[in-house]
Amino acid sequence: MRKNRIHHIIRLLFVFFCMNVVWYIAYLLMNHSILPSPFAVYNAMFHLGGQEIVLNVGYSLFRIFAGVVLALIIGLLIGLLMGRSLTWNKLLDPVVYLTYPVPKIALLPVVMLFFGLGETSKILMIMLILLFQIIISVRDGVKAIPENTYDVLTSIGASTVQKFWHVTLPGALSVILSTIRISLGTAISVLFFTEIYGTEHGMGFFIMDAWLRLDYPEMYAGIMLFSLVGFVLFLLVDFLDYKFMKWRGVQR
Amino acid sequence: MSNSRNKGLVIKDLKVEYKVGQLALGQMDLSLPEHGIYTIIGPSGSGKSTLLRAIAGLLPSYMGQIFFNEKSVNVKETLIGLVPQNYGLLPWKTVHDNIQIAMKISHTASISKQERENQINQWLSSMGISDLADRYPLSLSGGQQQRVAIARAFAILPTILLLDEPFSALDAITRETLQILFLDNWLAHPATTLFVTHDVEEAILLGQKIIVMPSNKEETPEMIDNELVFQMKHEDKRDSVDFFEQTKRIRKVMQEIW
Ligand SMILES: Nc1ncnc2c1ncn2[C@@H]1O[C@H](COP(=O)(O)OP(=O)(O)O)[C@@H](O)[C@H]1O
Ligand SMILES: [Mg+2]
């Protein structure tokens, strides 16, 4: 188990190193300012003020978190309603079915018109991207829990809240986590778009700002940092999966 | 009716249909005194599980009435310990947490955390599964899961204990061990117990009364008194003449109504 993890980390570091080598070779071949060398980029990264990094990364992380949490709360409520009640499912299913194929990113101008250029529209966009996926996966996850899983708790008089907390939520958590994992990539891309306008903070702003100033090493440094943010988020989902999904492992 | 006859678990005109016009459980009329073990035996599909589900309050509707000590059975005071046919453990909780959550929900705030931990450990050790406390159900064998489910049902100190073929996944030897464990625990906390089994010997070894379900839903179930065997020491039961007689008698009833 432990040995496996160390191997995994070594493999990741090795691939990371190889990518840098490829990058360096490309830099030597191109010999042009639009592709700086890895050293120049890492140098630029180290010369960024710690405060600047924390502020930009912090803003981006906050927007993602707010969007994810909002999508989770609303998605859980609606998905649960649809999973547990036939009437609500019949009522809401066509709504989800019709709105699901709408490319959410295309709603960006609409959201900006309604909610302005500030934080609200940025968070709402991320929420919109995740919401429908979460609704559908919660609904299916909840439906997939066998009805008799509730029996023992029902027979000792558990309340609806207790049943939700001890059966429905953990039963559907696995699908919820994999949905978040899948939608997180899209959410990060959308975050980039929304940070281009109406803000002075966030990784999207940072990258585009460096680009406008023709400061390419700093632009690449921003891209690396942004990727790091994405990587940390994936690690977080992996950690949650590890923490809450232990029960699936059938190792004796 | 006199007062004493209404004590215990009383089932009146109970009938269950899942689909209209299709009886899942034919008419049941039972009057079972408190603090007894009643074994139920019957062919599959005769409604044994359905009867337990009705008592446990898991059916959306049924005809007739179920009382415990003159109160409807589905009130809070009648605590029900259920061991479902599929054990009913929550796969995402450890053995310890499965028992803990059942205790928390059934006895809101009445005991301290420390006291609860002691009780959980005691039930785990009395079922011989102390070393499984931190394991998840999916990593356990069927027999181990059944022990956990039984420990959980005992741990909430129920008024009524309902067990649906609780030893079905066990080999003969483990089965005997568990029967003894079960009886010992029951003697210490004699809840009114309905015990479904498909094994004639088990029905005779454990029950004070034996209820034989008919295969035809229109017929009424047969109730056989088993007090003679029940009063013996468990080790002696199997070799006794009464046990032998009882086996013959039940097989005869089974031939008639199955
Ligand atoms: N959830 C259900 N929906 C419809 N019919 C059911 C359901 N559960 C059981 N039945 C039917 O009710 C009858 C009694 O089932 P059950 O109580 O499980 O019998 P047993 O436990 O004695 O084998 C069977 O004919 C079975 O097909
Ligand atoms: Mg059954």
Measure the CA–CA gap between B68 and B50, rounded to whole angstroms.
18
DSSP letter at A197 equals: S
Q: Kindly list the residues from chain A whose CB atom is less than 8 angstroms away from the CB atom of residue B76.
A: 157
**Mean pLDDT in residue range A204-227:** 90
Question: pLDDT tens digit string along B91-116?
Answer: 999 999 999 999 999 886 678 889 99
- What's the average model confidence in pLDDT over A209-221? 90
Residue B61 has pLDDT above 50, yes or no: yes
Question: What would the 3-class secondary structure string for A24-87 be?
Answer: HHHHHHHCCCCCCCHHHHHHHHHHCCHHHHHHHHHHHHHHHHHHHHHHHHHHHHHHHHHHHCHH
Contact B71, B64 (CB under 8 A): no
Band of residue A104 on the pLDDT scale cut at 50, 70, 90: confident
* Higher-scoring residue by pLDDT: B169, B87: B87
Nearest to B89 by CA among A160, A80, A146, A249: A146
List CB contacts (< 8 A) between A246 and chain B.
Answer: 136
Looking at residue B117, its amino acid is: E
The two tokens of residue B141 are 């064998």
Q: Do A154 and B91 touch (CB under 8 A)?
A: no
Mean pLDDT of A156-175: 91
Q: What is the mean pLDDT of residues A118-133?
A: 90
Q: Whose CA is nearest to atom 4 of ligand 1?
A: B18
Domain ranges of chain B: 88-156
Across the A:B interface, residue pairs with CB atoms under 8 Å apart total 69
Q: Are strands B37-41 and B71-72 parallel, antiparallel or unpaired?
A: unpaired
Amino acid at B123: W
The pLDDT assigned to A252 comes to 40
**B138 in Cβ contact with A247 (< 8 Å):** yes
Contact status, residue A126 vs residue A62, Cβ threshold 8 Å: no
| Average pLDDT of the segment spanning B66-90 | 87
Q: Test B105 with A244 for CB contact under 8 angstroms.
A: no
Average pLDDT over residues A216-226: 90
SS (H, E, C) chain B: CCHHHHCCEEEEEEEEEEECCEEEEEEEEEEECCCCEEEEECCCCCCHHHHHHHHCCCCCCCEEEEEECCEECCCCCCCEEEECCCCCCCCCCCHHHHHHHHHHHHCCCCCCHHHHHHHHHHHHHHCCCHHHCCCCHHHCCHHHHHHHHHHHHHHCCCCEEEEECCCCCCCHHHHHHHHHHHHHHHHHCCCEEEEEECCHHHHHHHCCEEEECCCCCCCCCEEEECHHHHCCCHHHHCCCHHHHHHHHHHHHHHHHHC
Per-residue model confidence (pLDDT) at position B1: 43
Q: What's residue A228's pLDDT?
A: 87
Ligand 1 atom nearest to B48, measured from its CA: 22
User: To the nearest whole angstrom, how far is the Cα of B162 from the nearest Cα of chain A?
Assistant: 10
At B5 the pLDDT is 58
> Does B76 touch chain A if contact means CB atoms closer than 8 Å?
yes
Longest dimension (CA), chain B: 54
DSSP class of A147: G
- A166 C-beta neighbours (distance < 10 Å), count: 23
| Percentage of the residues of chain A whose pLDDT score is greater than 90 | 35
Can you give the pLDDT at residue A14?
94
Mind listing the pLDDT tens digit for each residue in B137-150? 999 988 899 999 99
- For the segment B223-252, what is each residue's pLDDT rounded down to a tens digit? 999 988 889 888 888 888 998 999 999 999
Protein residue whose Cα sits closest to atom 2 of ligand 1: B18
Task: Spell out which residues of chain A touch residue B139, defining contact as CB-CB under 8 Å.
Answer: 249-252
Closest atom of ligand 1 to CA, residue B43? 22
- A 10 A CB-CB count for A1 gives 5
- Percent of chain A residues past pLDDT 70, beyond the cut: 98
What are the structure tokens assigned to B209, written together? 């009364």
Confidence of residue B4 (pLDDT cuts 50, 70, 90): low
| Dist CA B247 CA B157 (whole Å) | 32
Nearest CA in chain B to A169: B92
Q: What pLDDT shows up at residue B6?
A: 65
Share of chain B above pLDDT 90, in %: 59
- CB-ligand 1 contact for B231 (6 Å cutoff): no
Given this model, what pLDDT does residue B111 score? 83
| Predicted confidence (pLDDT) at residue A113 exceeds the cutoff of 80 | yes
Helices A119-143 and A108-115, packing angle to 10 deg = 120
* SS3 assignment, position A207: helix
The pLDDT value recorded for residue A251 is 47
Tokens of A125: 């966009």
Tell me what the pLDDT averaged over chain B comes to.
Answer: 90
Average pLDDT score, chain A: 89
Protein residue closest via CA to atom 11 of ligand 1? B24
The interface predicted TM-score of the complex, written ipTM, equals 0.88
State how far residue A156 is from chain B, nearest Cα, in angstroms. Answer: 6
Contact A202, A56 (CB under 8 A): yes
Residue pLDDT, tens place only, B144-194: 999 999 999 999 999 999 999 999 888 888 888 889 989 999 999 999 999
Q: Which atom of ligand 1 lies nearest, measured to the CA of B44?
A: 23
User: What pLDDT sits at residue B148?
Assistant: 95
Q: Tokens representing B155?
A: 């741990």
Give the list of residues 6+ apart from residue B153 with CB closer than 8 angstroms, or none: B81, B82, B83, B161, B163
Touching check for A166 and chain B: CB below 8 Å? yes
- pLDDT band, very low/low/confident/very high, at A120 (cuts 50, 70, 90): very high
CB of B137 less than 8 A from some CB of A: yes
Please tell me the predicted confidence (pLDDT) of residue B2.
44
CA angle B21, B27, B29 (to 5 degrees): 160
Report, as an integer, the average pLDDT of A150-156: 93
Q: Which of A151, A166, A247 sits opposite B138 (nearest CB)?
A: A247
What tokens does B179 get?
């029967």
If you count DSSP H runs as helices and E runs as strands, how many of each does chain A have, helices first?
A: 11, 0
pLDDT digits (tens, 9 = 90+) for A76-103: 899 988 988 889 989 998 988 888 888 8
Please compute the mean of the pLDDT values over residues B205-231 and round it to a whole number. 90
Of A143, A142, A145, A135, residue with least CA distance to A97? A135
Q: Do A155 and B92 touch (CB under 8 A)?
A: no
Instruction: Report the relative pairing of strands B80-83 and B22-32 from DSSP bridges.
Output: unpaired
- pLDDT for position B3: 52
